[in-house]
Amino acid sequence: MTETDRERVRHKELEFFGEITASVSHELNNAFATIEQTAGLLEDLIAAGECEGLAKDQLQRIADRIGKQTARGATIVKRLNTFAHSVDATEREIEFNELAENVLALANRFVERRRVQLDFRTVDERIVVSGNLFLAQEALFLSIRAVVSVMPEGSRVLVSTEMGETMARISVDGELPESSPEIDLSDIEMLMSRLDGEMHSGVGEGRVFVRLGFPRQQA
Residue 52's pLDDT is 62
Q: Are residues 126 and 28 in the same domain?
A: no
- Among residues 85, 116, 136, the one where a domain terminates is 85
For 25-29, 144-148, 169-173, which range has the lowest pLDDT when averaged over its residues?
25-29
DSSP state of 124: S
Q: How many domains does the chain have?
A: 2
How many beta carbons lie within 10 A of that of residue 129, not counting itself? 21
Q: d(Cα 37, Cα 33) in Å, to the nearest integer? A: 6
Judged against a pLDDT cut of 90, whether residue 26 lies above it is answered with no
Q: Are residues 122 and 167 in the same domain?
A: yes
The overall pTM is greater than 0.75:
yes
Q: Say what percent of the chain tops pLDDT 90.
A: 21
Do 5 and 46 form a contact (C-beta atoms < 8 A)? no
What is the residue-wise DSSP string for 155-185?
Answer: -EEEEEEEE-SSEEEEEEEEE--S-------
